[in-house]
Structure 1
Amino acid sequence: MTLPILAPSACVLRHSCHKVQWPYPQLGFVVDGSVPLGRLDIAVVGSGISGLTAALILSKNHKITLYEKEARPGGHSNTIQIIEEDRSVPVDTGFIVYNEENYPNFTQLLQYLNVKSQTTSMSFSYSLSDRGMEYCSNGLNGLFGQRKNLLNPDAWQLLRGLLRFYKEARSITVSTHPDLTVGEFLKEGGYSKSFADLHLIPMISAIWSTSSQSTQRIPISSIVRFFDNHGLLQFRNRPRWKTVCKGSSVYVWRLLNEASVRLQLGQEISTISRTNNGVTVRNMHGATKNHDAVVLATHADQALRLLNAPTPSETQILGKFLYQKNTVVVHNDDSLMPSLKKLWSSWNVQSNSRSLDRMTVTYWMNKLQALDCQKDYFVSLNPYDISCSRTIYREFSYSHPILDSQMLSAQQDLRLIQGKRNTWFCGSYFGYGFHEDALVSAIQVAEALGSMRPWGKSNTDLPYSSTSTAVKSRAVDA
């Protein structure tokens, strides 16, 4: 049993326990712990990828009740169907893409569930709407797709900054620049505003679904590590990106069909109370249910709010994770795309010079999902202007963790609260904030409770675990 970050010191007291040891080679010590024997009654709260994975694996050995406050399961894996004459068009609205190199466990989960995927493109464009400048990532022809950019100093400064960043970035590590933020790095390094405002900051903001201000507070060493592992510091040999055929919800329902769980949709939990003998889950209507243990597969801030009488450690550690709420709109307004259609890309960032912090990220779903349809469909994060003459199909609200130094520090302490008072935690906040991070954290919890994943093993280190033996960053998803 390999448990890179979990160090539980408590077990469910109403069951017999057996002693186990988890080695921490990088820290030079071994942690003793206990896990319960026998079949447990476990509540899993939250049906995003971490909750689904935990429920699936744990259901092989335990009785599982999966609570979800929404009327649908899946969390950010949310596919809507748009009716277009004689066909139904599946459009993903949250999680969209992955690659096999940086998503090894998710890849094996899809294989286990016999879910098909298809290759996609991960091109990028940027438009400065009020200044008429735009470009895309398709080489020099993309940068100078507007031929007037050949005479635009901003375009040349952007190119020089990009080449310089690619050359210098790999020398930036946690040891050399432990606390240096993106904003400080750009300022101290003398990078041009053109490179900062028209490329690096918009790209990071698009990847992490954060504002320009939040982006500038991210440690630059974290960005470089992520970019390097994803081949973003090179022009060639980048990972091949994929999408789930017919939408990400396909794997959600296939997983639930495989798992032996009691699914409780529309069951918003108000409080979770813990005793030495187990936990009591109370919903918003006052109904209660007793369980041996609980797995909180929610955002960190949500988990803290759910706990009745959280411990000082839980309050301190979980309270360090901050989130940004993003409005996601599914529509067909191409005014949020580059004016030149040859520059349309999978990811498209639009801003204006009056307020560079107001950026809209628009995903061109036809290109990303290879949709068989007649119209163009877009998914935009925080659109500041959508034409009223266009169609808005659906609107959602998703929250994303803010990757700052406070979050990275708290991640190293998460193992200290695992398994205490019959309570376990998992979610994307254990890593970079993406799908693979959430899935890996769920695998670790399930295996700590004695259930092994029913597919082949891959690396289950998390990028900021204090015991991580290999840094493996995760792919980009909304």
Structure 2
Amino acid sequence: MRVAIVGSGIAGLAAAHTLQGLADLTLFESGDYFGGHTHTVDVTLPDAQGTPTTFGVDTGFLVLNERTYPNLLALFSALDVSIAKSDMSFSVQADGAGPGGQTLEWSGSNLSSVFAQRRNLANPRFLRMLADIVRFNRITSRLAEKGEDLGEHSALLQPLGDFLREQRFSDEFRDWYFLPMMGCIWSCPTDQMLAFPVATMVRFCHNHGLIQVTNRPQWYTVAGGARQYVQKIVEGIADRRLATPVRQVLRDPQGVRIVTDGHVERFDAVVMACHSDQSLRLLGNGASQNEREVLAAIRYQPNRAVLHTDASVLPANPRAWAAWNYQRAPSADVESAQVCLHYLINRLQPLPVTQPVVVSLNPQREIAPTQVLGEYAYDHPVFDLAAIRAQARVHDMQGQRHTWFAGAWTGYGFHEDGLKSGLRAARSIIDTHGLVPVEGGEAARRQALPGVFA
């Protein structure tokens, strides 16, 4: 059986890895590297002795934990990919929000970093924010523990903006903590986040331990860069095609035709492991009504990532430095501004240099060209109410007209979600077509991820 996989992000790689030995696979990737949002870039900088040292820096996917990434950890274990402890500390810079119009700076790493600016010990607005954080954690933990009820009139479908107003959370909490944290998680403007249903925030934050004061999960990163796992999966795919954009996917009763530049090839099935809007564009007029409605409901936020060594974008007070450093827009219209976030890679990954290495998402000012190491574009799904409702309909599309859909857009937008969707698509193909290993049956089963053949 011939199976085409369109897209080499974690969803496509998971599907390909699971189908190895069971089908004749072809992996199509339009870009110049495999991995999608897993993008490790080589950087050369002087080490402590001044010797130029080359190492990998992740500019997209960065961290995982044992509680909410079990399938990804199982994959890494199966591939013998090493992980290292990481840091998920968080800081906020808010221009003009401090006393006398100065910049407010604080970090959640420890008590000293919370009060990195010692004057905040006597700042009633700052203390009100801290009190609201405690109250917010208590309220949302209670919602999470009650379980999910996503019926048409569920309180969990209420927009976050309405939820904050009804619960009387302060502006300080909203602007100096809540929206920065949400921006760091979903990489989209705050006006979009305020339209998210409460369920999106509660489910994710509860699962990831972000609304707990104690017993938070340990976070990890891939030692040497996340491309380690990408390379190991791709090496096992005989027909892998880089810089080969799919232009059209045509379906008929016999199967699928994949159209690339100058070529048309027939397959028995296709896994659309790309963004939902890309899938819709490739299906074109051949998309069913259900496919059009579901795929069009997921919107995306374009983000610009700059890899550089300019530490001046971090908080002016080094006590407030963190792994994730949010910078609030200085303009009055902060809600529509793109999220600005500076990842201090030295805190997130073990690097062989002490010089700060930073990935800035949508930097508010241009980084000096002499300090720029690379620039990349990433699109992130927007999980508003329309998206949440569309996700519930994805299952009905799977396997229709020889087509399966996979991607992080089917879940929370994160690596584990993309991986699980790729596993589900592959498992469905296996079950639908009764696939069995062509040769070396037991070996093929052992290579599969835990649970895939359960």
- Identify whether the pair has TM-score above 0.5, normalized to the shorter chain: yes
CA offset digits 1:199-241 (Å, max 9, x no partner): 0111011101111111111111221222112211221110000
Matched, 1:129 2:95: yes
Alignment counterpart, residue 411 of structure 1, candidates 357, 368, 391: 391
Q: Which residue of structure 2 lines up, in the alignment, with residue 279 of structure 1?
A: 256
In 1, distance between residues paired with 2:206 and 2:171?
Answer: 23
Q: Which residue of structure 2 lines up, in the alignment, with residue 149 of structure 1?
A: 120
SS of corresponding position for 2:185: helix
Alignment of 1:89-168 (within 5 A): 89-130=55-96, 131-168=102-139
Q: Which residue of structure 2 lines up, in the alignment, with residue 7 of structure 1?
A: none
In 1, distance between residues paired with 2:319 and 2:34?
Answer: 37
Q: Which residue of structure 2 lines up, in the alignment, with residue 470 of structure 1?
A: none
| Number of aligned residues | 419
In 1, distance between residues paired with 2:391 and 2:173?
Answer: 31
CA offset digits 1:414-470 (Å, max 9, x no partner): 01111111111100011101111111111111111116771323899xxxxxxxxxx
Alignment counterpart, residue 447 of structure 1, candidates 411, 420, 427: 427
- Is the 1:401–1:429 Cα contact (8 Å) retained in structure 2? yes
In 2, distance between residues paired with 1:193 and 1:306?
Answer: 44
1:49 shift after superposition: 0.4
State the TM-score, normalizing by the size of structure 1: 0.85
1:353 shift after superposition: 4.3
1:335 shift after superposition: 2.2
In 2, distance between residues paired with 1:133 and 1:178?
Answer: 32
Runs of at least 4 residues off by over 4 Å: none
1:389 shift after superposition: 6.3
Q: Which residue of structure 2 lines up, in the alignment, with residue 397 of structure 1?
A: 377
In 2, distance between residues paired with 1:149 and 1:404?
Answer: 35
Amino acid at match of 1:248: A
- Is the 1:143–1:155 Cα contact (8 Å) retained in structure 2? no
Q: Which residue of structure 2 lines up, in the alignment, with residue 468 of structure 1?
A: none
In 2, distance between residues paired with 1:459 and 1:121?
Answer: 35
- Is the 1:47–1:73 Cα contact (8 Å) retained in structure 2? yes
Alignment of 1:255-270 (within 5 A): 255-257=233-235, 259-270=236-247
- Is the 1:335–1:386 Cα contact (8 Å) retained in structure 2? no
- Is the 1:317–1:410 Cα contact (8 Å) retained in structure 2? yes
Q: Structure 2: where are the runs of 5+ without partners?
A: 46-50, 97-101, 436-444
Matched, 1:210 2:171: no
Amino acid at match of 2:392: Q
Q: Structure 1: where are the runs of 5+ without partners?
A: 1-39, 461-478
State the TM-score, normalizing by the size of structure 2: 0.89
Alignment counterpart, residue 348 of structure 1, candidates 315, 325, 328: 325
Matched, 1:188 2:166: yes
CA offset digits 1:235-294 (Å, max 9, x no partner): 11100000000000111001112x2330010001111100101111111x2321111111
SS of corresponding position for 1:102: coil
- Is the 1:50–1:297 Cα contact (8 Å) retained in structure 2? yes
In 2, distance between residues paired with 1:459 and 1:226?
Answer: 28
CA offset digits 1:51-89 (Å, max 9, x no partner): 011111112210000000011100011000111243102
- Is the 1:105–1:457 Cα contact (8 Å) retained in structure 2? no
Q: Which residue of structure 2 lines up, in the alignment, with residue 29 of structure 1?
A: none
- Is the 1:104–1:458 Cα contact (8 Å) retained in structure 2? no
Alpha carbons of structure 1 residues 390 and 344: separation in structure 2 relative to 1, 3 Å: farther
Amino acid at match of 1:272: V
In 2, distance between residues paired with 1:217 and 1:459?
Answer: 40
In 1, distance between residues paired with 2:36 and 2:329?
Answer: 32
In 1, distance between residues paired with 2:172 and 2:191?
Answer: 16
- Is the 1:105–1:439 Cα contact (8 Å) retained in structure 2? yes
Alpha carbons of structure 1 residues 55 and 411: separation in structure 2 relative to 1, 3 Å: same
In 2, distance between residues paired with 1:261 and 1:188?
Answer: 56
Alignment counterpart, residue 456 of structure 1, candidates 428, 432, 450: 450
